[in-house]
Structure 1
């Protein structure tokens, strides 16, 4: 909580906004969305906030970097309606997703580590089986083909796409990098680098960046958890778990 709000009693919207680098309209929008508890009103209808509202705003802003706007808002909305267990479940789900992302990164690193020249052999993997193996739609494979990320040959008799060993490798690598949040246009030069057997240095740089972003997100989640805990601790609860 900003130092100048710690000992304050009643706060105007502008006080809360300035202390957090926001506009007064943003504060009102957060209240309307349930991200902040409802403000009390003066006899003339003006909103008044308290240090508890400042803690709520601290928590929301701290949750944003690690959880994203949608989840951070849902966490705060759950807390403010007295559904703390729902809020904690959302926090747990974000941590589970982060763990899954870390496992995906490890899988990509393993895939890159195993990259090797592929013999020029004819494959017999088709769109359907490969898409099921990767857990994607056939249309996604065709989109990757259109972007030049996979290059299956065509069976001269049937016209069907046939994916050889190198194509399967490329499809798996594209799939893993997409799960890491990379765009097709970012992946394309890396796939080209792998095909040309010119080394995997660009992939190494990308994986280092990916790992750094996951670590930053982990730290942000810790910061968000501390701020959320501080907000939970200062909320005056009713026997039903609500807020007075």
Structure 2
């Protein structure tokens, strides 16, 4: 890690954290333990500063809890595994963005009141889907669709005598909107209100606003991850050499 030469206050100034936050983040494992001088004072290195810059970006991109877990992991796994873990973060953000874009396309169909149109992407051009097909297309479990049905969010077009559900284009579109809104952190009551209002101008406007905010949030998280990139690469390489 190099020769310890930075004081806690130096690290705080270099990273924008307070002295107490630096100590807390070391205690939480974001930073590896600092060397201690004979007088008991902490001694940090540039690697500690780099780790805090990485943590800031990761905390924005994936949340502080996951950022702490990931940093601890990156310091202990082989180089190729650490690099793969970072690739997963980028892929996850891309997947979230695709989900929101698909929801926007679905909303456009709702707005146009196209009841027999197909869907692009994972859904394909179909008139209806089974619960298993829709769950696979959305990347959720069938149990999630059943729960949403119970909550009045996504209602099947029909249920056969054998309890087999069929979802038409309107229900598929609503399901896409639900996935995006739930991914954005909206609770069931808020999602229910938006979905229930999709037939009205105000409801569609609210759904579009929520989806736009979701895209903006993903963009902020993506930029934060990109900004952490150089320090993240150096952190991974330093760990691999230890």
Q: Normalized against structure 1, the TM-score is what?
A: 0.70
Higher Cα radius of gyration: 1
Asked whether the 8 Å contact 1:194–1:200 carries over to 2, the reply is yes
RMSD (Å) for aligned C-alpha atoms:
3.9
Moved more, 26-35 or 52-61: 26-35
Tell me: CA distance 1:146–1:43, structure 2 relative to 1, closer, same or farther (3 Å).
Answer: same
Asked whether the 8 Å contact 1:63–1:225 carries over to 2, the reply is no
Name structure 2 gaps, 5 residues minimum. Answer: 117-126
Tell me what 2:227 maps to: 223
Asked whether the 8 Å contact 2:109–2:173 carries over to 1, the reply is no
1:114 equivalent in alignment to 2:114? no
Asked whether the 8 Å contact 1:66–1:224 carries over to 2, the reply is no
Asked whether the 8 Å contact 2:106–2:174 carries over to 1, the reply is no
Pairs aligned (count): 227
Give the 5 Å matches for 1:95-106. Answer: 95-106=90-101
| Structure 1 residue 221 displacement after superposition | 1.3
1:203 equivalent in alignment to 2:207? yes
Using the alignment, how far apart are the partners of 1:53 and 1:129 within structure 2?
Answer: 48
Equivalent residue for 1:30, pick from 3, 25, 32? 25
Give the 5 Å matches for 1:35-114. Answer: 35-81=30-76, 83-114=78-109
Q: Normalized against structure 2, the TM-score is what?
A: 0.70
Using the alignment, how far apart are the partners of 1:130 and 1:92 within structure 2?
Answer: 27
Tell me what 1:241 maps to: 241
| Structure 1 residue 93 displacement after superposition | 1.0
Asked whether the 8 Å contact 2:104–2:177 carries over to 1, the reply is no
